[in-house]
């Protein structure tokens, strides 16, 4: 399938899925015969987002809350999501429970098998042992919320033809401080990742299967940051250590109960300590206006500016700059659904010592989250300028990710995730580009043993289609890779 056709197919699938979910949610609220015992109380979302939509949720009682101390769906306890269309964080579904403090450190050990083709085209088997831990911490008091989520450890790889980086560390740390002062809402956040492989697929961190497990077991205390605010890592560029960081600051001012103005800025970097790859440093500023014309729906207009500077791999004084204008739409139902989409023209300017050019691009970003009492689904799509993943000095990227989880019983939890990315090097119009296609899928099935121990079985598959001539030191493994294994987790907080 041609790249343009692939892009339109992904967009149509995303739009169809979004409208199907909306039709299902609206249908569930029609008529007395459609009452679903697992559906949230309709009055909760209407009360939380209606008369009191201009207020922030009050702080929770101090202490550690257990995972099963769920409160009745009381409208007075509903906590709606307060992110704006012009903000850096994606919409969340909020909660029908009261906000609460969390302190949950854990230890984990994983034993994995990895199959991949070698240079002779034969199947090669490696073993990978991961030992690490995680921390999920959330603290609320007065007008403040402080959150830290960390996952990290050491990976030990054994097998034939292992020549470099057999043992490596990985770290994924997010720290956030939110402050509410009357009409003002201030957000400070930092996201840091260190890994021997691309974070898009979790390479060097256990792979997509283990990432699916972690995303479902760590409570969704934090909303995701929009992909435009974080340096891209959607190309598998070999077993090379890299450091990615994005520091974000955001200020929101509520003009009244229905409208607000938001300004967000971030500084991000993607650095490779070793030679042969392209480092990028990114500055991003976005501002916009939101208007909520009813308790669930909102419209927005936003403008963005991005500048990315590139160094390394024989590149000097090279940069890309983009200017974006977009219209946005959002739809929220507290505890159930969050949908947002924004699109508009984007001008990309490329500058280097050899010359420069500019291209116009149709940018589009969207995200959908749908939650039930036992099930959850999410889907994101991004089309626009990215930092090139250490392979290109800027790229035109199309990225889609999906995830789902289900609580089968009190003890059994399953989750799946997947993603597909197309990256094309920047080039003047009507000029050939270099392209990478990368896709992955992962699944995890876990069971609680007692109150503090869980065992998970996971499986993942991934593949990247690379060009015939690699533009950097190493473009990674060509061919299908599979990962399978088992993980044991020990939590301080009860798991079930």
Mean confidence (pLDDT) of the chain: 81
pLDDT of 338 reads: 95
Q: Which residues pair with 268 in a beta bridge?
A: 246, 282
Q: Between 69 and 327, name the one with better pLDDT.
A: 327
Name the residue with higher pLDDT: 177 or 467. Answer: 177
How much of the chain, in percent, has pLDDT values that exceed 70?
80
Taking alpha carbons only, the member of 245, 287, 237, 289 closest to residue 268 is: 245
Mean pLDDT of 189-196: 93
Q: Which of these, 217, 220, 172, lies nearest to 197 by C-alpha position?
A: 172
Q: What pLDDT, in 10s, does the model give residues 198-248?
A: 888 888 787 777 776 666 555 456 778 888 899 988 998 878 899 999 999
Q: How confident is the model at residue 451 (pLDDT cuts 50, 70, 90)?
A: confident
**pLDDT of 496:** 60
Q: With 50 as the cut, is the pLDDT of residue 113 above it?
A: yes
* Amino acid 149: pLDDT: 92
Residue 24's CB is within 10 A of a number of other CB atoms, namely: 11
For residues 381 and 216, give the distance between their C-alpha atoms in angstroms, rounded to a whole number: 20
Q: Of the segments 26-35, 89-98, 406-415, which one has the largest average pLDDT value?
A: 406-415
- Alpha-carbon distance of 337 to 371, in angstroms, equals 6
Vertex 96, ends 92 and 100: CA angle to 5°?
Answer: 85
78 vs 216: CA distance, rounded Å: 22
Which residue would you say has higher pLDDT here, 192 or 8?
192
Structure tokens at 445: 């099935």
**pLDDT value at residue 10:** 45
Q: Is pLDDT of 70 > 50?
A: no
Strand pairing category for 279-292 and 297-312: antiparallel
Q: How far is CA 338 from CA 235, 280, 303, 333, 439, in A?
A: 29, 32, 22, 6, 25
What pLDDT sits at residue 20? Answer: 47
What are the DSSP E strand ranges found in 66-122?
A: 102-117
Residues in the chain, total: 496
Residue 14: pLDDT band by 50, 70, 90 thresholds?
A: very low
* Residue 416 confidence (pLDDT) above 80: yes
Give dist(CA 61, CA 104) in Å, integer: 17
Could you read off the pLDDT of 39-54 as tens digits, one per residue? 333 333 333 333 333 4
Is the model's pLDDT at 28 over the cut of 80?
Answer: no
This prediction has a pTM of 0.81
> Could you give the count of Cα atoms lying within 13 Å of 281 in the half-sphere of its Cβ?
7
Q: Point out which residues pair with 303 in neighbouring strands.
A: 287, 325
CA neighbours within 13 Å on the CB side: how many for 27?
A: 6
Confidence (pLDDT) at 63? 30
Is residue 231 within 8 Å of 282, Cβ to Cβ? yes
| Strand 479-491 versus strand 102-117 pairing type | antiparallel
Query: Which pairing describes strands 412-425 and 435-449: parallel, antiparallel, or unpaired?
Result: antiparallel
Supply 344's token pair: 């508009």
* Residue of 267, 266, 280, 232 lying closest to 384 (CA atoms): 232
- Res 445: pLDDT: 93
Per-residue pLDDT tens for 328-372? 999 999 989 999 999 999 999 999 888 899 999 899 999 999 998
Residue with the bigger pLDDT between 383 and 227: it is 383
Q: How far apart are CA 127 and CA 133, in angstroms?
A: 20
Q: Do 143 and 181 meet the contact criterion of CB atoms below 8 Å apart?
A: yes
Of residues 149, 104, 132, the one with CA closest to residue 210: 132
The two structure tokens encoding residue 327: 């219209």
pLDDT digits (tens, 9 = 90+) for 260-312: 999 999 999 999 998 889 999 999 999 999 999 998 999 999 999 999 999 98
Q: Which H or E run contains 424?
A: strand 412-425
pLDDT higher than threshold 80 for residue 432? yes
Mean pLDDT of 32-40: 37
CB 372 within 8 A of CB 93: no
Q: Which of 161-175, 425-439, 480-494 has the lowest mean pLDDT?
A: 161-175
Choice between 143 and 61, residue whose per-residue pLDDT is larger: 143
Higher pLDDT, residue 100 or 374 = 374
| DSSP annotation string for 213-262 | HHHHHS---SPPBPGGGS----S---S--EEEEEEEEEEEEESSSSEEEE
pLDDT for 31 beyond 50: no
How far is C-alpha 466 from the geometric centre of its chain's CA atoms? 24
Closest CA to 371 of 138, 136, 96: 96
- Tokens 């079985």 identify what position? 457
pLDDT band (50, 70, 90) for residue 180:
very high
Q: With the C-alpha atoms ordered 350, 351, 354, 357, is the resulting torsion angle positive or negative?
A: positive
């Amino acid at each position: 399938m041609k790249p343009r056709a692939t892009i339109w197919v992904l967009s149509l699938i995303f739009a169809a899925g979004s409208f199907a979910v909306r039709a299902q949610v609206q249908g569930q609220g029609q008529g007395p015969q459609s009452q679903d015992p697992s559906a949230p109380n309709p009055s909760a979302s209407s009360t939380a987002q209606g008369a009191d939509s201009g207020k922030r949720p009050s702080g929770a009682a101090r202490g550690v809350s257990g995972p099963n101390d769920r409160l009745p769906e009381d409208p007075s306890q509903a906590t709606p999501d307060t992110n704006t269309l012009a903000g850096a964080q994606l919409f969340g579904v909020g909660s029908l429970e009261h906000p609460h403090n969390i302190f949950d450190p854990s230890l984990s050990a994983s034993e994995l098998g990895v199959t991949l083709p070698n240079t002779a085209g034969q199947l090669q088997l490696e073993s990978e042992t991961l030992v690490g831990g995680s921390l999920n911490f959330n603290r609320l008091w007065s007008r403040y919320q402080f959150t830290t989520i960390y996952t990290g450890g050491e990976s030990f790889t054994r097998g034939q033809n292992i020549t470099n980086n057999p043992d490596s560390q990985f770290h994924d740390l997010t720290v956030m401080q939110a402050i509410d002062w009357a009409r003002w809402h201030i957000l400070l956040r930092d996201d840091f990742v260190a890994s021997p492989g691309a974070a898009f697929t979790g390479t060097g961190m256990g792979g997509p299967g283990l990432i699916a497990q972690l995303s479902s077991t760590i409570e969704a205390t934090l909303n995701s940051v929009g992909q435009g605010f974080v340096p891209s890592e959607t190309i598998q560029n070999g077993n090379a250590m890299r450091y990615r960081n994005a520091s974000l600051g955001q200020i929101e001012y509520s003009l009244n109960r229905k409208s607000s103005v938001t300004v967000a800025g971030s500084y991000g970097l993607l650095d490779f300590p070793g030679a042969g790859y392209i480092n990028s440093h990114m500055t991003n500023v976005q501002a916009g206006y939101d208007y909520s014309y009813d308790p669930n729906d909102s419209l927005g207009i936003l403008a963005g500016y991005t500048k990315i500077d590139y160094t390394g791999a024989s590149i000097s004084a090279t940069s890309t700059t983009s200017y974006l204008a977009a219209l946005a739409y959002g739809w929220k139902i507290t505890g159930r659904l969050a949908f947002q989409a924004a699109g508009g023209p984007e001008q990309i300017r490329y500058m280097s010592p050899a010359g420069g050019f500019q291209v116009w691009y149709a940018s589009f970003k969207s995200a959908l989250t749908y939650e039930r009492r036992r099930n959850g689904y999410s889907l994101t799509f991004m089309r626009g300028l990215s930092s090139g993943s250490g392979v290109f000095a800027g790229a035109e990227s199309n990225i889609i990710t999906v995830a789902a989880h289900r609580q089968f019983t009190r003890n059994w939890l399953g989750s799946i995730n997947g993603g597909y990315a197309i990256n094309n090097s920047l080039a003047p119009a009507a000029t050939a580009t270099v392209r990478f296609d990368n896709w992955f899928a992962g699944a995890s099935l876990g069971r609680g043993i007692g109150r503090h121990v869980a065992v998970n079985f996971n499986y993942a598959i991934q593949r990247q289609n690379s060009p015939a001539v690699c533009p950097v030191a190493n473009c990674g493994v060509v061919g299908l890779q599979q990962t399978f294994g088992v993980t044991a987790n020990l939590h301080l907080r009860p798991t079930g």
